[in-house]
Structure 1
Amino acid sequence: MMEDLVKQFEELAKSQDMESIVETMMQQLLSKEVLHEPMKEIGERYPKWLEDNKSKLSQEEYNRYFHQHELIRDLNVVYDTEPGNFNKIIELMQKMQECGQPPNDIVKELAPDFDISALGQLSPEMYDSQHNCCIV
């Protein structure tokens, strides 16, 4: 019975329907309704955090966090002006992930019980570049 279930799942995963289901889920997860407000809040905290921590960071770390802040600002502009531009949102999210996790201090301010270090990053290999969706 388990073998039959596994075979059915494998067939479903190969089908075009599964791709569209995954793409729809990603669009919902990355939608303005879900992410815009948290991204705005995180983005608003960066300037002060960067200023307060500049002397504690290496130049490389500072540049990485500064670039990450720029990408968050760019993402918020897309949410404000082109909320349906899923390809641009994915592109910016991938670039943000290349910068690593946001500063834990900022995340702790927004969600004190959330441990960002426990999360793994989505790697570029997880994205189907042909369809611009995450492969789960």
Structure 2
Amino acid sequence: MYITLPQSEQDWSAYYDLRWRVLRAPWRQPKGSERDALEQIAYHVMVKTTTDRTIGVGRIHPASVEKWQIRYMAVEKNFRDQGIGKMLLLELERHARTQGATRIVLNARNSATAFYLKHDYKICGEAPTLFGVIQHLCMQKILPT
């Protein structure tokens, strides 16, 4: 496994396809719902297998100079609990720090809060419920200087 940035048209297609399959398709959301207006300013990363299969994706974008937000973290179901989420998270945090971030925020599905707590994120409140059924919590991490 290795972490990289999506570069080719094939990379971007695999990147968005994984986001849609993991985060949107189970709730019958249409293709395209896995994207938003901040794609162009965001920093995107992906984890691939040695055979170049995309198995993890994530992105981070500036909410302000000091505050950055992680969105659309997704790991292929059969590859979870193998350190892929950690690889993605550490790279997103590293990039944000190089851009002057002192704090990272995210809205975590309840099923993912333990993962973020393990990586020093703190719960800061409730977040919107997605599609009327997927509860989220606001979480944040103050980055070490």
Q: Fold conserved (TM > 0.5)?
A: no
TM-score by length of 1: 0.30
Give 1 or 2: higher strand fraction: 2
Higher relative contact order (CA 8 A, sep 6+): 1
